[in-house]
Structure 1
Amino acid sequence: MGREAQLFQGSGLGKRRRRGGGGGGRGEQTVVPDAEFRSYYGRPVLKTPVWDWRIPAYLFAGGLAAGSSVVAAGADLTGRPQLRRAGRLGSLAGLLGSMYFLVSDLGRPERFHHMLRVFKPTSPMSVGTWILSAFGPGAGIAAVAELVPARWRRTWPARLLARSARPAGVSAAAIAPGLASYTAVLLSHTAVPGWNEVRDELPFVFTGSAAASGGGFGMLCAPVEEAGPARVFAAVGAAGELLAAKRMEQRMGLIGEVYRHGKAHRLRRASEVLTLAGLAGTVLVARRSRTGAAASGLALLAGSALQRFGVFEAGVESTRDPKYVVVPQRERLEQRRRDASAAG
């Protein structure tokens, strides 16, 4: 009985009701005293993720690669060479950074190629690995075409590369939504309650954040007269990220505690402030001022990065208290019982 009281305290299952009686309307004292929410032997129910800062950095870099590839494809199709170059090189840099952070965090980095041995549609990790593999060649060809020296551009390999750059860039942009969102699916399909409980909203948060970072990078690197598509993309992405994040906060139950307190709260609040500032700068001053465009782009990039670090920190924190595991599980079981009773 004592152990059950420890386990279920906080869900209303660890106390007995007080019965009314005499003594001025005061009831009897509860038989089971208040108890803290602890697991057996004081150990967490779930093992805390062993990932370090490289994983949220990988999440951000992948989003930047996806967003920049869309900006680059739009710039290519509308005749904006400097924005196209910035987007293509930013996409390749984000892709390489993402792969580095992911592979370096593996226990045996030299065996990263084993993730390509099979394709398992039910595994977000397997699907994500193949999305990265499909995205990489297009982004790489388009970026390398921008790096060919002028004196080599008349050679047949350079001409072939130049003709391949546009279809390669467009193919990367077509795969970009999958790259931007699969990391959210990967996190939310773990047992970590801080990620699993927000699985319906997190892909929209990450996709909007990726668009904001890609547009912000284009605004930072391209001249104002060419950065129109980047500004539009950044504004839409930032607005989408803020709305999705607000929706996520409203739908959180008990797990919202880890997002509203501590380090995760500070990171996500800073992300919100920077994203709002970047959105306002993008709409109000970026089209007129090169400095304003650069500052807005930097704010959007920083906000996007802090969003990933905040979500990561919230997930890690949620594994340290067993109530975030037990209470939602019991609530889901109770809801299933009610649904079954209603259906019967």
Structure 2
Amino acid sequence: MSATLQHRRPGTEAPRLPDAVQQDWHGETYHGRPAVKASSFDWRVSTYIVILGVAGSAQLIAALARRAGPEARGLVRRARLLALGGSMVGPLVLVQHLKTPSRWFNMLRIVRPTSPMSLGSWLLTGFGLLSGLSALGELLGRRWRFARRVGDAAQGPAALAGAGMSVYTAALLSSTSTPLWAAAPAPLAAQFGTSSMAGAASALALMQRAAGEERSARRLEALATLALAAEWLAGREAERRWRRAGIAAPIERGTTGALHHGGGKALGVVAPLAAHGLGRVVGGRVGPLLPELASLAVLLGGAAMRHAVLRAGNESACRPQDAFRVTQGARR
């Protein structure tokens, strides 16, 4: 039997592979087949990511606004209700993607710390329960003081779970073997998190303007502007890593590239920043139309960005050269 096939005793060194085996990959694949399998994630998954990200960041805003005093009570109530609505609608979209509802319950049978899917399932469940308690305090707090206390007590844990909801989907994508997602885990998480905060602030700004609370709406729009600037920086870093790894083609070209640049960047970041900047210059002469359009653009652009990332990731999985470039880069 060859020495490379013999059973090694504990403590002995592994045999050195021949140089022919250790050579770098030069583009060959088995019958040109992809090295990894593309995921089944589609628009429903990207919609789920958007909804739960906005809901999670809404709980963060609710926790911050609660410290502002009684004058922010309306914002706290709307943020909690937005979080509750997202925690209810998001799982329904996800279960629709899973096709078999029992899969959702099966994921809750165990807790596996090494599995982002397992931790994410429990995080989503906990976030939904905590959001329900915090919203219960808003809905029943005027009649029963105990309900108000329960809702306020749940606010802190709900905000922590909301922070996790804002970024965990990026961690879930990055833990796969899909080249585009695995090549930039930290920038992708930052991009998803800041986009979630911008989306939550924009959605709540629309709700505050509809309620006639212009002052808090302007503060939320300022928060959205800061989050968009951070999202822009995170996106640039992710693109830099993709280009350095030589796997940026799926998100820069074709239909997916148009969705990423035209929807995620131009509509979702550049246009709102320009609109908010113009609104600061001209003041109230343009009325609420410009900031409201900017808030809508943030929400639509955030959805386009996530869908482009999902599409580009699946396209990169079908490109064997991308998979080998990422694994070679990780080895070095």
TM range (shorter): 0.7 to 0.9
**How far apart are 1:38 and its partner, in Å?**
6.5
Q: Distance in 1 between matches of 2:34 and 2:63?
A: 47
1:71 correspondence with 2:61: yes
Change in Cα spacing, 1:280 to 1:69, as seen in structure 2 (3 Å) is: farther
Change in Cα spacing, 1:174 to 1:295, as seen in structure 2 (3 Å) is: same
Q: Distance in 2 between matches of 1:139 and 1:299?
A: 26
Q: Distance in 1 between matches of 2:156 and 2:273?
A: 26
Q: Give the alignment partner of residue 82 of structure 2, picking from 90, 104, 108.
A: 90
Ranges in structure 2 where 5+ consecutive residues have no aligned partner: 1-22
What secondary structure is seen at the aligned counterpart in 2 of 1:80?
helix
Match in the other structure for 2:248 = 256
Q: Give the alignment partner of residue 196 of structure 2, picking from 193, 201, 210.
A: 210
**How far apart are 1:245 and its partner, in Å?**
0.1
Match in the other structure for 1:29 = none
* 8 Å CA contact 1:201, 1:245 repeated in 2: yes
Question: Which has the larger displacement, 182-191 or 90-99?
Answer: 90-99
* 8 Å CA contact 1:74, 1:229 repeated in 2: no
Match in the other structure for 1:296 = 294
Q: Deviations over 1:241-279 (max 9, x none)?
A: 111001111122211111111222112112111222223
Q: Distance in 2 between matches of 1:64 and 1:282?
A: 20
Match in the other structure for 2:264 = 271
What secondary structure is seen at the aligned counterpart in 1 of 2:64?
helix
Ranges in structure 1 where 5+ consecutive residues have no aligned partner: 1-10, 15-36, 336-344
* 8 Å CA contact 1:73, 1:166 repeated in 2: no
Q: Which runs of 4+ in 1 moved over 3 A?
A: 11-14, 144-148, 286-289, 330-333
Q: Deviations over 1:56-86 (max 9, x none)?
A: 1111111111111122222332232332232
**How far apart are 1:213 and its partner, in Å?**
0.4
Larger radius of gyration: 1
Q: Distance in 2 between matches of 1:200 and 1:73?
A: 25
1:131 correspondence with 2:129: no
1:227 correspondence with 2:225: no
Letter in 2 for 1:48: A
1:280 correspondence with 2:280: no
1:325 correspondence with 2:323: yes
Q: Distance in 2 between matches of 1:54 and 1:38?
A: 35
Letter in 2 for 1:168: A
Q: Distance in 2 between matches of 1:243 and 1:118?
A: 38
Match in the other structure for 2:16 = none
Letter in 2 for 1:51: F
In the comparison of the two structures, how many residue pairs are matched? 296
**How far apart are 1:93 and its partner, in Å?**
1.7
TM-score with structure 1 length normalisation?
0.79
What secondary structure is seen at the aligned counterpart in 2 of 1:116?
coil
Q: Distance in 2 between matches of 1:116 and 1:12?
A: 42
Q: Give the alignment partner of residue 170 of structure 2, picking from 154, 159, 184.
A: 184
* 8 Å CA contact 2:204, 2:220 repeated in 1: yes
Match in the other structure for 2:181 = 195
**How far apart are 1:162 and its partner, in Å?**
2.2
TM-score with structure 2 length normalisation?
0.82
Match in the other structure for 1:52 = 42
**How far apart are 1:283 and its partner, in Å?**
4.6
